[in-house]
Structures are given as C-alpha cells and as structure tokens.
Amino acid sequence: MIRHCVFIRFQSTIADAERQSILADIAALQRLVPGYLAFTAGGNSSPEGLGKGYNSGFIIDFADVAARDAYLVHPAHEKAGGRIVAAAEGGIDGVFVYDFEIAG
C-alpha cells in the first residue's frame, strides 16, 4: 500500500469554503481511480509548533504504486492540483508531498 501525504500552506485569504471545495475535489477522485482506498483531511492541530506554516493536509491510501501513478496523471487530479497550487502560499513552494510504502 502507498500512503500519499500532502501538506498545504493555504494563503490566509483563501476562505474555508474554498479550502473545503479543493479537498472535496481530491476526495471525489476516489470514485474515478481504481485502487484509491481512503481519504482523510484536516487542519493542523499539533501543539508541538513544528508545522512550518502548513495549515491543512490530506492523506490518500492507494492499493499500490500503479494506483497512485494512475491518480497522479488523471485529468481531475491535475485540475485539483492546480487549484491547490493557486491557493497555496508561494504557489508550489507552499505544498509538501511525501509518499511511503506500507508493508502488509
């Protein structure tokens, strides 16, 4: 299984409704991409103070690398990804993506 983690520094001017709409676009891809298993999203609630300004994020679990790769090139993902970059502080510099494999 591949766990795809995305953290976003949304611009302060981006309304909560717009943030939720962007995340809903990512969640909606689950019905379009075989092997897209689960979606979880939320704001940073860590008390550690190490969030480096990332104020929102989401995690997607994919069955395997092939499912993740199909998601990455899907036109709906490209559109939603563009919305994320446009809404992030500093554009692409306001987005952090980290994928890892989970054995099991």
| Spans of all domains in the chain | 15-41
Share of the chain above pLDDT 90, in %: 98
How far apart CA 39 and CA 28 sit, in angstroms, is 9
**Both structure tokens of 19:** 């943030």
User: By CB neighbour count within 10 A (0-12 exposed, 13-18 middle, 19+ buried), where does 99 fall?
Assistant: middle
Confidence bin at 70 (pLDDT 50/70/90): very high
Confidence bin at 5 (pLDDT 50/70/90): very high
